[in-house]
Structure 1
Amino acid sequence: MSGNDPTGQVTQVARAALASTPHDRLDAAVHAVDAPDVVFAVSVHGHRTVRASPGAEGLRYELGSASKTYTGLLLARLAESGHLAYDDSAAACLGPPRPPRAVAPITLRHLITHTSGLPALPRDFYRQALPHWTTNPFAGYPAHRMVDAFLRAHPRHRPGTRWHYSNFAVSVLGHALSAATRTGWDALMEEQVLAPLGLSATSTRGAGTAGDAVGHAGDGVTQAPPLRIGGFAAAGAVRATPHDLLTFLEAHLRPERTPPLAGALHAVRRPVLRRGLGKAHTHTLTWFQHPTDDGPAYFHCGATSGQQAFLGFCPGTGTAVAGVATRRFRRADAFVPTAYGVLFGAG
C-alpha cells in the first residue's frame, strides 16, 4: 500500500489531455495508462462522465492506501458524535491501563495524521512478509499481532512533532476505534460510513469475489492474487466500484446533503499540518491538499500488489475524480500524474 503525493508530476500526456474536450480528456487519460483495466470517472456539479476500458466500469477495485480517507472519515464521525475524542490515547482505547510511556501518549489524531512517531510498518513485519512481498505481504500479520506490536513500540520521535507516512499507525487506529466502540471493524465502517453514504457497492470484507477486478503485476500480464489484508484493514481494505467512489467524493463536495455525516465531512477538509521544504505540503485529517486558482484541491493515492487508485476533489469547481487501474506500476508511472491532471482539467 502506498499514498504517494503526485504534486508536480503531471505528464506530457496529461497536459495534452487538458487542452481537449471533457470526453476527449477522459479518453486520452484511459489510453495513457497501460493496464488491462482502466477507469476514469468524473463528476462536475453532480454530472458524471465515465470512460473505461471494455468491461471495466462495473468492477470493484482495491483502493490500497486510498482506504485511509474512509478511515479518517470514520474517526471524524465518531469524534463529531461524541463516541471518542481525537486526542484520546490509542493505548487506552485498546485495553486496560498500562504503565505510562516515557514520552507523551500517541493519540488517535497522531495515528491518522502520520505524526505518531511510528515506522511505516511494524519491526517484526518484514520477516514473514518478504517471501510474499510482490503478492500478499500483509496476509500473515493478524490483528492481535498488530496491537501487540503497537503496545511494545517506542516512537522514533515525540508524537506530534514530525510527519512520517505509516501504514502501521493507521492500522492501529482501526483497532483502537473498534475497541473503543466494541464493534468489529467491518461492521463499524458499514454502520458509520458506508450505509449513511449509500455505498452499497463498497466493502471492506473478503476479497476475490464475483465482480472484483483482477490485478496484475508490473508487467501488466501476470495476474496478482486478491489482496489479503491481515491486521492492516484500516490502512487498505476498501474495495469499491467507480460509481461508488464518485458518490463518496461527491459527499465531500456537498456535505450538507448527507446530514448524519455533514460535520465529519467538513472536518476532514480542514488543514491540520504542513510539512516538507518550506512547509509546502498541506494535509487535512485524511487528505493531501494542494492550492489551485479555484481554491484547495484534495487527493489521495493507493496501490496494492496488482492495482492502483486515485481519489480527488476540488470544491471550488465542484469536481470529483476517481481513477482505478489493474496494474501495479513500479516505474514510469503514468497513472497517478494522469489522474492528477484529469482533476485539474475536468472542472
Structure 2
Amino acid sequence: MRERLAEAVTGAGAPDAVFAVSRHGRRIVHSGGHGPAPAVARENLRYEIGSATKTFTGLLLARLTERGALTGAESAAACLARTGRRTARAAAAARTAPVTLTHLATHTAGLPALPAGFYPRALPAWRTHPYARYPADRVVDAFLHHRPRHRPGTRWHYSNFGVAVLGHALAAATGTPWEDLVTAEVLRPLGLAATVLRPGTAPGDATGHTKDGHAPTEPFDAGGFQAAGAVRATPHDLLTFLEAHLDPAATPLPGALRAVRVPVLRRGLDHRHVHTLTWFQHPTDGGPMYFHSGATLGQQAFLGFRPDTGTAVAAVCTRRFRARDPFIATAYALLFDG
C-alpha cells in the first residue's frame, strides 16, 4: 500500500499531493509533490475539497432530520419565505410541485448546474473568483424565480445550484447560518477541529495551482454556494470524517451516518447508478462503496469509504483538474481495490 500511495502522489503531478488510507482505523498517509516543501507538513495543510463539501451538507440534513428539527419533505420555497424572499410564482410552485429539501440534496429538484444569470456575472472574474460574484441573495432569488423544466423528483441532474439553495433553506428553516449549523451539528461532534468553512491565507492553508501545476491560484471563495463547495480540511480530518461513516455507532451521530448510506435514487441503464442522500454508490464484489469528488479553481479532492473492508480513502492535491486527469481515477482505484 505504501508503494501504491507513493506512486499515486508522483502521478498526481501537483505541487502538493496527499493520499491517505485508513483500514479498520489504521492509517497510512503519503505526501509529496514537485513544489517546494511548505512551512506546514503537507498532510497537515487544509485543502479545498470543492464539491465534496456536499457530503457535509447532506449529513447536516440527515442530522437535522434525525433529531426531528426537519423531515426533508419541507418545501424549500416555504423555508426561504422566512427570510422575507418570496414571489407569487414561487408561492404557486410551492403549492403545486414543491421542491423539497430532499430534492435539493439528491439533485432531483429540476435545477440546472448553475443559475441562468451566473455566467454573465462570473465571466469577468472567471480565473479568480467567479463564485464570489454571485452572493447568497442572488442564489436565493434565482431559485425563487426559476421555472423547473421537469417536475421535482422525476429526473436527476447534478446541481451546485441546488445544494447551494439547500444550505440557505436549512439556515432559514432553523434560523441559524449554514456555517454555524455545520459546525455545531457535524464538525464539533465528529472532532473535526482542523476543518474550516471560509477562505484563508494562513500558513496552514494549501495554495492551489493552475492545470500546469506551476502558477498559483487565489484561495477559493464560494460566494453564495458555500453549502456546495466551501469546506477546507486536512487529510487527517477527512479520514476522521470517513471513519465515522464506517463505524457510526462509535460516534455521536449514529443515526445520521447510517441514514446517508441508504440508497434513495437509482438511475441510468439497468439502474446502475445509485445515490444516497449524500454519496455516489458503486458496487464491488464485497458490497457497496461510497464516494464523492470535488474541485476548485486550483485544487482537487476525493473522499470514499467501503464498509465491507473497513477502508477509507482521502486524496487531495493542489492542481486544477485537467483533461484525462489521473488523480481521481487513481484515488477511486485505491478504494475499489481496498
TM-score normalised by structure 1 residue count: 0.91
Q: Counterpart amino acid of 1:286?
A: T
Secondary structure in 2 matching 1:224: coil
Paired AA for residue 324 in structure 2: A
In the alignment, residue 13 of structure 2 is paired with which amino acid? D
Determine whether 1:71 maps to 2:61: no
Residue 56 (str. 1) matches residue 42 (str. 2): yes
Letter in 1 for 2:63: R
Which one is further off, 103-112 or 91-100?
Answer: 91-100
Task: Pick one of 221, 226, 242 that aligns with 1:233.
Answer: 226
Deviation digits for residues 75-112 of structure 1, max 9, x if unmatched? Answer: 00001111111111001111157532274100000000
Q: CA deviation at 1:277?
A: 2.3
SS at structure 2 position matched to 1:162: coil
The SS at the match of 1:118 is: coil
Amino acid at match of 1:146: V
For residues 142-198 of structure 1, the C-alpha deviation after alignment (integer angstroms, 9 at most, x for no partner) is 111111111111111000000000000000000000011111111111000000000
The whole-number CA distance in structure 1 between the counterparts of 2:115 and 2:50 is: 18
Structure 1 equivalent of residue 249 of structure 2: 256
Equivalences for residues 250-289 of structure 1 within 5 A: 250-259=243-252, 261-289=253-281
In structure 1, C-alpha distance between the alignment counterparts of 2:113 and 2:257, rounded to whole Å: 27
The answer on 1:178 being equivalent to 2:171 is yes
In the TM superposition, residue 236 of structure 1 has moved relative to its aligned partner by: 0.2
Deviates more, 1:273-282 or 1:186-195: 273-282
Unaligned 5+ segments in structure 1 are: 1-21
* Greater RCO structure (CA 8 Å; 6+ sep): 1
Q: Secondary structure in 2 aligned to 1:202?
A: coil
**Kept after mapping to 2: 8 A contact 1:119/1:156:** no
Deviation at 1:62, TM superposition (A): 0.2
Q: How does 1:192-211 map to 2 (within 5 A)?
A: 192-211=185-204
| Cα deviations by residue, 1:252-287 (Å, 9 ceiling, x for unpaired) | 00000113x110000000001111222211111110
Measured against aligned partners, the alpha-carbon deviations of 1:44-73 in whole angstroms (never above 9, x if no partner) come to 000000000153111000000000000000
The equivalent residue for 1:298 is 290
Report the CA distance shift for 1:115/1:37 in structure 2 as closer, same or farther (over 3 A): same
**Unpaired runs of 5+ in structure 2?**
none
1:224 to 217, 228, 249: 217
Distance in 2 of aligned mates of 1:307 and 1:135: 13
CA contact (8 A) 1:297 1:314 kept: yes
Whether contact under 8 Å (2:198, 2:221) holds in the other structure is: no
- Alignment match, 1:6: none
Q: Distance in 2 between matches of 1:159 and 1:207?
A: 37
Structure 1 equivalent of residue 300 of structure 2: 308
CA RMSD of aligned residues (A): 1.2
Give the fraction of aligned pairs with identical amino acids, expressed as a percent. 65
SS at 1:282's partner residue? Answer: strand
| Contact 1:216–1:223 (8 Å) recurs in 2 | yes
2:16 maps to 1:37: yes
CA distance in 2, matches of 1:137, 1:179: 25
The equivalent residue for 1:158 is 151
* Contact kept in structure 2, 1:60 and 1:211, CA below 8 Å: yes
One-letter identity of the residue aligned with 2:74: D
Shifted more, 127-136 versus 58-67: the winner is 127-136
Confirm or deny: 8 A CA contact 2:103 2:153 kept in the other structure.
yes
Following the alignment from structure 1 to structure 2, what is the Cα–Cα distance between the partners of residues 135 and 252?
Answer: 34
In 2: Cα distance, 1:285 partner to 1:69 partner? 9
Helix, strand or coil at the partner of 1:74: helix
Count of residues paired in the alignment: 324
The answer on whether the counterparts of 1:106 and 1:116 sit within 8 Å (CA) in structure 2 is: yes
In the TM superposition, residue 23 of structure 1 has moved relative to its aligned partner by: 1.1
Segments of 4+ moved more than 4 angstroms: none
Match of 1:24 in 2: 3
In structure 1, distance between residues paired with 2:201 and 2:159 = 26
